[in-house]
Chain A
């Protein structure tokens, strides 16, 4: 089968690889109809996230049809159309029982190695390095899905892929981040990053009834999209973020700040340059400029909701500011199964339409080009969906 393989920094190739097989009773094999490139895949693309091996199949946002199930899967059958959560959860460990699904104890075959790295074994993720299990990802024609009796959610045949695909990751991620903001009536929330997760966080916050949402980025087409979703755009290259937010919130600062950027934040000024240098020479794995700015801007007693991906220690973390302002920091990988069914209902009802973030639909064969488009935000790129069924070179289709 064809699959998108990682071979190093900015080196992604579509290759012929062996087809996956059922290895465990609770496995299923899915034939992928649509898969997407996630902003977090760009951390792998740029070589910023550790634990990758050349040849690894990428991708954790995918959906498709069940083509085979193991003997332990009774709730799915061949032909079922499913969306697959990016996080692999067993459903029966200490953490899954407490709905902390992205902390699953049992889904990572490399648990001992991650325990040494993080102090606790991390859950398995599809196509996201050997730290998270070394599972082959979903940017492929076929994928093996472990614990398939617990994770995948069936979707009706008549709904287009584009509407439901993002239940695999970014919609629940954004929704969870919006929920972490714990916004009360009258609260203002500022969202850093207008990539797909930031945009869907704006959409989620608005759907939850938050009246004032600020969206911070520097890419004009993304800021414009955030504005159409109901946010007040702030371009950090032309506006002073702190001054603007304080001016708009009666001098208090936003009640909650949401990080939809993560470890490769672009910052202006000296700290931004220092951060890039440190990351380049591996003095620091992550560039935490968004975190710093959120702590600076947030109102006293407010909440930081951190969705952006971080991998290692960070320097110059203004803990004194956070402590003295009495901030609450809430963060996690997405506890996806907690939100899955509710969000599917909202999408089917038409309350949420996550397909609005898609800018390009390309052939799986064109993945290398797609990664470049998305990484460099060329051609108005916000979100790329890849389809194994499209012929190579199918014309890019920008959606407004």
Chain B
């Protein structure tokens, strides 16, 4: 089966390689239909997000290919340890309580430098998960498009899946937030934060929306350390 995470971005008209059987051939497919036709898993949560970054696609790919970098952009990930060049051990916070962690081993299933990177859990994993990120430089110096697709099937059956589906909206904003942070680091060398700033006393104050990073400030500072992110990628980020 052709895989979602195996498809380089195509320009329209764009027909999925395995169109739904009941549908006659068409000129145009929506991104949703295309992604749907390319999904690896039939069940579970599926989210996508896209952004535009003012850096060459090769640099963006290089920063992403250092898998150890991903937890710095993707909030739910605690750490990634590379076992070998294509195998990695991922640790994430469990989706709904934030205290227990889930672990899985992923294999890179597609790797075209400067274009696409895709990964998938090995068979028998506690959680089924696949993800890909595609890079494409746009004409007229508009920048590089970064398109991310993630699918996962939660570990315990259909109840968890129903809950997970209800949280797709949340997963969507988390993926968007991750891409936003990725763009911030690649373009500016740091992640904008306003936590930890002066404020008057008030019992009504809540955590600042959109910034409930369960990371320490030291981690956040670390992201902005040019040595910690693909050094070549960040070195040139000077306004």
Q: Cβ of A53 and Cβ of B204 under 8 Å apart?
A: yes
Residue A303, interface by CB 8 Å? no
Which of B95-103, B110-118, B193-201 participates in binding chain A?
A: B193-201
Q: How far is the CA of A133 from the CA of B197 in the complex (A)?
A: 12
Q: Which residues of A contact B196 (CB under 8 A)?
A: 21, 23
Residue A277, interface by CB 8 Å? no
Q: Cβ of B54 and Cβ of A92 under 8 Å apart?
A: yes
Interface residues of B in 44-103 (CB under 8 A from A): 52, 54
Q: Which residues of B contact A23 (CB under 8 A)?
A: 193, 195-197, 217, 220-221
Q: In the complex where A24-B193, A91-B239, A92-B187 touch, is A109 in contact with B208 (Cβ < 8 A)?
A: yes
Q: Cβ of A72 and Cβ of B201 under 8 Å apart?
A: no
Q: Which residues of A contact B165 (CB under 8 A)?
A: none
Residue B19, interface by CB 8 Å? no
**Which of B187, B191, B197 contacts A136, CB < 8 Å?**
B197
Q: How far is the CA of A130 from the CA of B194 in the complex (A)?
A: 9
Q: Cβ of A54 and Cβ of B180 under 8 Å apart?
A: no
Q: Cβ of B200 and Cβ of A13 under 8 Å apart?
A: yes
| A142, closest chain B residue (CB) | B198
Q: In the complex where A17-B199, A55-B202, A133-B194 touch, is A110 in contact with B210 (Cβ < 8 A)?
A: yes
| B209, closest chain A residue (CB) | A113
Residue B125, interface by CB 8 Å? no
**Which of A3, A107, A111 contacts B210, CB < 8 Å?**
A111
Residue A157, interface by CB 8 Å? no
Residue A370, interface by CB 8 Å? no
Q: Cβ of A110 and Cβ of B201 under 8 Å apart?
A: no
**Which of B204, B206, B209, B239 contacts A150, CB < 8 Å?**
B239
Q: Which residues of A contact B211 (CB under 8 A)?
A: 109-110, 134
Residue B192, interface by CB 8 Å? yes
Residue A201, interface by CB 8 Å? no
Number of B residues with CB within 8 Å of any CB on chain A = 40
Q: Cβ of B204 and Cβ of A54 under 8 Å apart?
A: yes
Q: How far is the CA of A199 from the CA of B225 in the complex (A)?
A: 45
Q: In the complex where A26-B190, A109-B210 touch, is A7 in contact with B200 (Cβ < 8 A)?
A: yes
Q: In the complex where A5-B200, A55-B200, A105-B183 touch, is A25 in contact with B210 (Cβ < 8 A)?
A: no
Q: Cβ of A94 and Cβ of B143 under 8 Å apart?
A: yes
Q: Which residues of A contact B220 (CB under 8 A)?
A: 23-24
Query: Closest approach, in angstroms, between the C-beta of A129 and any C-beta of chain B?
Result: 11
Q: Which residues of B contact A3 (CB under 8 A)?
A: 198, 200
Q: Which residues of A contact B197 (CB under 8 A)?
A: 20, 23, 57, 134-136, 144
A-B pairs, top 8 by smallest CB distance, nearest first, are: A5-B200, A91-B239, A54-B202, A55-B200, A55-B202, A110-B210, A17-B198, A136-B197
CB-defined A-B contacts under 8 Å, sample of 22: A6-B200, A23-B217, A24-B220, A25-B189, A53-B205, A55-B200, A56-B199, A57-B199, A88-B192, A90-B239, A92-B54, A93-B54, A106-B187, A110-B208, A110-B211, A111-B177, A111-B180, A113-B209, A115-B176, A136-B199, A146-B192, A150-B239
A interface residues (Cβ-Cβ under 8 A, vs B): 1, 3, 5-7, 13, 15, 17-21, 23-26, 53-57, 72, 88, 90-94, 96-97, 105-113, 115-116, 121, 124, 130, 133-136, 140, 142, 144, 146-147, 149-150
B interface residues (Cβ-Cβ under 8 A, vs A): 52, 54, 142-143, 173, 176-177, 180, 183-184, 187-202, 204-206, 208-211, 217, 220-221, 224-225, 237, 239
